[in-house]
Amino acid sequence: MENTTQTPAPAPGGSWKVMGILSVVIGGLSILFSFIPCLGAYAMYTGGFATILSIIALVLANSAKAPKTMAIIGLVISLLSVGIGVWQYKKLTEVGNVLKSGADQFQHQMDSTLKADSAKH
């Protein structure tokens, strides 16, 4: 007797699954990286890449009428990492501005002191 049951063919266009998983993995690594002081600002780049991947996965899953769970999870995680990265970048910029202003004040005081010393001699 011959087996006549047919195995179902794989669903075409399963790339949305891979992109959804990649967006979750890259977004997860990016959010972990975003908590590293002074380096976390770079997480906005990897998080941005993961965001793009998850949006593409979301669109492809929507057009295939497939579950969008992984794409949505990847989107949320990657947007969080972008937000934390942007926040760290702003804080680093503020610290840089404070340090520059302090260095300028120090230079001004040194110039004033040197002028006063040269005037005495």
Question: pTM surpassing 0.75?
Answer: no
61 within a domain of the structure (yes/no): yes
Tell me the C-alpha to C-alpha distance, in Å, between residue 7 and each of 10, 12, 50, 99.
9, 15, 35, 68
pLDDT of residue 1 exceeding 60: no
Distance from C-alpha of 36 to C-alpha of 68, rounded to nearest angstrom: 30
- The pLDDT score that the predictor gives to residue 3 is 63
The pLDDT tens digits for 31-65 are 898 888 878 888 889 999 999 999 999 999 988 88
103 within a domain of the structure (yes/no): no
Mean pLDDT estimate for the chain? 85
46 within a domain of the structure (yes/no): yes
pLDDT of residue 8 exceeding 60: no
Give residue 55's domain range.
15-89
pLDDT of residue 5 exceeding 80: no
53 within a domain of the structure (yes/no): yes
SS3 annotation, 48-98: HHHHHHHHHHHHHHHHCCCCCHHHHHHHHHHHHHHHHHHHHHHHHHHHHHH
26 within a domain of the structure (yes/no): yes
29 within a domain of the structure (yes/no): yes
- The pLDDT score that the predictor gives to residue 14 is 74
Number of domains in the chain: 1
pLDDT of residue 84 exceeding 50: yes
Distance from C-alpha of 1 to C-alpha of 67, rounded to nearest angstrom: 39
110 within a domain of the structure (yes/no): no
113 within a domain of the structure (yes/no): no
Question: Are residues 53 and 40 in contact, defined by beta-carbon separation less than 8 angstroms?
Answer: no
